[in-house]
A = this chain, B = another copy of it.
Amino acid sequence: SKEDFDLAAIYVSDAQYNRNIFFDTSPQAATMLVELLCLLVFTIRLVHYAKVIPRDKFWKDPKNICIIVILMLTLADMIIYGALKATNYYALRWSRVLRPLLLVNVTEGRQLRRAFRSIRNALPQIFYVFLLFMFSVLIFSLMALKLLGKRGLKTIDGAPYFTNYLEIVFDLYVLVTTANSPDVMMPAYNASFVFAIFFIIYILINTYIFMSVFLAVVYNNYKKYLKEEVRQLVRAKRHKMVRAFAVLQEQREEGGGPVVTQANWNQVVRLVQPDISNAHRELLWSVCDDNNQGSIGKVAFVQLADLLNIEVITLKSRPHPFHSVCPAFYLSAPSRLLCRMVQHRAFVIMYDIIILVNAIFIGLDEENPMIANSEWVFLALYLLEILLKLYVFEPRAFFSRHSFWNWFDTFIVISALIATIVNSAVKSSGGYTSRQILDIVFILTVSSFRFRTIINTLIRIGPAILTFGQLIIVVYYVFAMVGMELFKGKVKFYEKDSGNPAGAYCGNPLLQGTDFAKLNYCKNNFNNVVSSFILLVELTVVNQCSGFAAVTHVSARIFFIIFHILVVIVIINIFVAFVLEAFFVEY
């Protein structure tokens, strides 16, 4: 019946695109900010869910319970905070740290929950390596204390160097992040070059070997997880195709298994992919029914989902027009050498380098006539490339329907040529124009065309990078909230024009004369969410935290060490593992 075909078509189409209808009905682009700010929405959602979903199912789902607990804790926190503030006590909005958990627990956070699960699975192994890593840091600290502690060395600030064990542990931990290299080693190195060997061995073991081992552990776990995911996907695809087969099957011969006839198969394929050509469809059928029996069994039917994804392009091999017109010339030795040169890898690389040089020239001084005229040279080179390619490749194949990029390339070069001519005409008639914006657009498009293999890969991993973005934002949010509680208002930024002398020490006398103030880091503070987030990005790259320990207490360093462990050792490594895997699949 019609309904059967529709149902089968839906199964096949789902299998073809690995869709999961149950989940995809809710929009993926989570309205994150709204969700973070508006607890009310969550309550309404939850009440709505509780009404729709059967009671026992609702209470069995840990997500719902988690949301209820968070909502209640937040409410309690708000009441306590209000009461304490009203009676002028010091109050802490501790529940803010819980907010990201709301984000993680809603349906739209599925990707995010998956990423969290992947981290949780890797944690025991990471912890084990981390223990050994901490041992190594501690042993090296002990050795440093014994080697350097009693030599009376001083740092540039005149403070005693490597005399306190816990300070040494912290300094050597920061050395792993490379933030205080080479400063931490200079006093010892100035005393004798022999001590430099100690630091070199330390860096080799703890920065290079251990950080690689962390990556190895995280990557290994990630691969395991990914394999399981692919296995599930394949299973789901097969399951759907089997269900489609069950709808369409009929018993043809006695004793034989159930089959799908060519007529039914054709109808389903036409429903799934209405724009498929008859030739293409018949090709697919002949692949499935390789014994020419007029019907196919389950095994042959199941592969349809993958077959539909294969793109079929018909290519006609035609000789080059020059070849037909004047073969003696086109087949002569110099002409053939030219063809070989243009088809060589080095030709592509040469033009890549030409574009690179062009990109350098664009940024240089516009007023210099040599640089201003160089654009003509570059344009001539680009035109030459197109002409050479047209000479070597058959023009109709070069400009065929499927060779989108060749069209694009020619279009870009010709429009750049026109723009340059128009521009120089306007300029010579006295009008002012800036070529550079035009040039940037040009270089951007040309280079994006050149490197489309890599760029396509980067674009393909884009959505997953967004998942990592969410993950990072959740973790940053928690640290921003804790950081704001700990350090809010301790470091202040004054505009340069304000003339306030406190600007020289970030509004905190404790920072007077410190590197933090000298390097003008005052805007790196936890005073609001935006600057907290920017500071956390900086801390991810280089863990600079001496300023915050100075304005509060030495133990504030623990906050920065935990941040480094969680973000750099765990999350950034997962990100690297992810990029690695994405590239291995592509290459």
Contacts and interface: CB of A to CB of B under 8 A. Distances in A.
A534 interface: yes
Interface string A130-152: 01101100110111011000000
A95 to B, nearest CB: 27
Contacts of A561: none
Given A182-B538, A213-B454, A359-B138, A587 B220 contact: yes
Contacts of A436: 142, 146
Contact of A186 (B142, B186, B455, B519): B519
Contacts of A579: 208-209, 212-213, 216
A446 to B, nearest CB: 10
Contact of A520 (B190, B360, B518): B190
A451 B521 CA distance: 41
A59 B169 CA distance: 58
A147 to B, nearest CB: 12
Interface stretch (A5-13, A86-94, A349-357): A349-357
Nearest to A359: B138
A359 B584 contact: no
B142 A193 contact: no
A129 B362 CA distance: 22
Given A165-B364, A523-B190, A579-B209, A131 B534 contact: no
B156 A520 contact: yes
Contacts of A454: 128-129, 132, 213
B216 A363 contact: no
A131 B196 contact: no
Interface in A75-104: none
**Size category, A interface:** 35 or more
A182 B356 contact: no
A572 to B, nearest CB: 7
A328 interface: no
Contacts of A168: 363
A263 B530 CA distance: 81
User: At the interface, is chain A mostly helix, strand, loop or mixed?
Assistant: helix
Given A182-B521, A363-B145, A451-B135, A583 B542 contact: no
A447 B142 CA distance: 14
B139 A575 contact: no
B583 A217 contact: yes
Given A165-B363, A182-B541, A544-B182, A356 B451 contact: no
A537 interface: yes
A9 B196 CA distance: 50
A531 interface: yes
Interface in A545-586: 572, 575-576, 579-580, 583-584
B444 A139 contact: yes
A144 to B, nearest CB: 10
B359 A200 contact: no
Contacts of A544: 182
Contacts of A215: 576, 580
A156 B515 CA distance: 12
B181 A541 contact: yes
Contacts of A451: 131-132, 135
Contacts of A186: 519-521, 523
Contacts of A353: 131
B212 A575 contact: yes
Given A131-B349, A165-B363, A166-B364, 14 more contacts: A131-B353, A138-B359, A138-B443, A142-B359, A146-B440, A166-B363, A168-B363, A190-B496, A193-B523, A208-B575, A212-B579, A213-B454, A220-B584, A220-B587
11 contacts: A132-B451, A135-B356, A138-B443, A139-B440, A143-B440, A169-B363, A203-B541, A212-B580, A215-B580, A216-B579, A216-B587
